[in-house]
């Protein structure tokens, strides 16, 4: 798949967990797991989070890998081969996961947790960022996972490329510099902004609801901020503290 439009295969319907908890880089903090590891992904699934977020880069030899930072053990991912990156492991002795390995792990014993795929902006060029987006969509398509993925990015052009290739894809913009109306006009389905953006622009909350744009906020780690977003009717809350967020959701229902 290069510039062709994705045609979704028939996939079994998925019933996602009926909560708003998205584990940021998996559920890692409480058990001291590595962020973006398969172990943290599996724990997010065990917790029954409605989503588990992870970050994608592409190596110099076009391997798609999962890591938050642009570097892995001080090696720039986009300028390093996957073989050279494999010389190092995560803190739990996992190897640096490829996107394929991560997605397959996310399918294993998982009927309730969506995979929230952050495509990181390229450090090399905007065009490479769009190429990465196309490669990610191709792999998701090959694995028949279109109905399990939400795509997020700080790079608006990456999301526009995803919409171009698969207009039915679930997409959420991260930077916080566009209104829900703008996002909707460009074919995207959600805004996923730092919670402080919504405090500066509370009108965007009602605008998103009016325009059927999903509301997500990152990275929300205090009870006070969680309570405000819960009371504001957010569809998702992305957090390093999923256990605390579950507690706050429970308290809000009393």
Structural domain includes residue 117? yes
Structural domain includes residue 1? no
**Alpha-carbon span 17 to 11, nearest angstrom:** 18
pLDDT at residue 14 is higher than 90: no
Evaluate if pTM is beyond 0.85.
yes
Structural domain includes residue 161? yes
Q: Could you give the C-alpha distances from 7 to 161, 178, 190, in angstroms and in order?
A: 15, 29, 22
Give the SS3 label for residue 128.
helix
Considering only CA atoms, which of 24, 202, 179 is closest in space to residue 116? 24
What's the half-sphere exposure (Cβ side, CA atoms, 13 Å) at 245?
A: 33
pLDDT at residue 175 is higher than 90: yes
Average pLDDT along the chain: 95
Structural domain includes residue 15? no
Structural domain includes residue 9? no
Pairing of strands 149-153, 190-194: unpaired
* Both structure tokens of 231: 């009371």
Structural domain includes residue 26? yes
- What is the dihedral angle through the alpha carbons of 199, 203, 206, 210, rounded to the nearest 10 degrees? -140
Structural domain includes residue 217? yes
DSSP state of 70: S
What's the pLDDT at 22? 99
Residues 6+ apart with CB under 8 A from 206: none
What's the half-sphere exposure (Cβ side, CA atoms, 13 Å) at 239?
A: 25
pLDDT band of residue 12 (cuts 50, 70, 90) is low
**Could you report the per-residue pLDDT of 154-163, keeping only the tens digit for each?**
999 999 999 9
CATH number at residue 114: 3.20.20.190
What total number of domains does the chain contain? 1
pLDDT band of residue 254 (cuts 50, 70, 90) is confident
What average pLDDT does the segment 187-207 reach? 98
Burial classification of residue 201, based on how many CB atoms lie within 10 Å of its CB (0-12 exposed, 13-18 middle, 19 or more buried):
middle
Rg (CA), the chain: 17
- Domain range for 231 is 21-252
pLDDT at residue 186 is higher than 60: yes
What's the pLDDT at 11? 56
Structural domain includes residue 11? no
């Amino acid at each position: 798949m290069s510039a062709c439009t994705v045609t979704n295969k028939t996939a079994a319907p998925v019933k996602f967990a009926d909560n708003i908890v998205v584990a940021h880089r998996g559920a890692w903090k409480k058990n001291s797991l590595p962020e973006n590891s398969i172990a943290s992904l599996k724990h997010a699934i065990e917790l029954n989070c409605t989503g588990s977020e992870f970050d994608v880069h592409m190596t110099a030899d076009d391997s798609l890998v999962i890591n938050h930072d642009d570097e892995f053990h001080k090696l720039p991912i986009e300028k390093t081969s996957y073989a050279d990156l494999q010389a190092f492991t995560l803190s739990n002795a996992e190897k640096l996961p490829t996107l394929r390995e991560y997605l397959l792990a996310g399918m294993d014993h998982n009927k309730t947790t969506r995979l929230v795929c952050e495509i990181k902006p390229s450090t090399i060029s905007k065009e490479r960022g769009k190429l990465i987006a196309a490669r990610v969509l191709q792999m998701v398509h090959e694995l028949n996972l279109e109905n399990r993925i939400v795509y997020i990015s700080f790079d608006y052009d990456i999301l526009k490329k995803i919409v171009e290739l698969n207009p039915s894809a679930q997409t959420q913009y991260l930077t916080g510099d566009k209104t829900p109306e703008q996002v909707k006009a460009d074919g995207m389905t959600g805004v996923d902004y730092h919670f402080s953006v919504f405090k500066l622009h509370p009108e965007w909350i009602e605008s998103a609801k009016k325009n059927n744009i999903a509301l997500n906020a990152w990275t929300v780690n205090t009870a006070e901020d969680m309570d405000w977003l819960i009371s504001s009717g957010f569809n998702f809350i992305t957090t390093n503290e999923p256990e605390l967020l579950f507690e706050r959701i429970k308290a809000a229902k009393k």
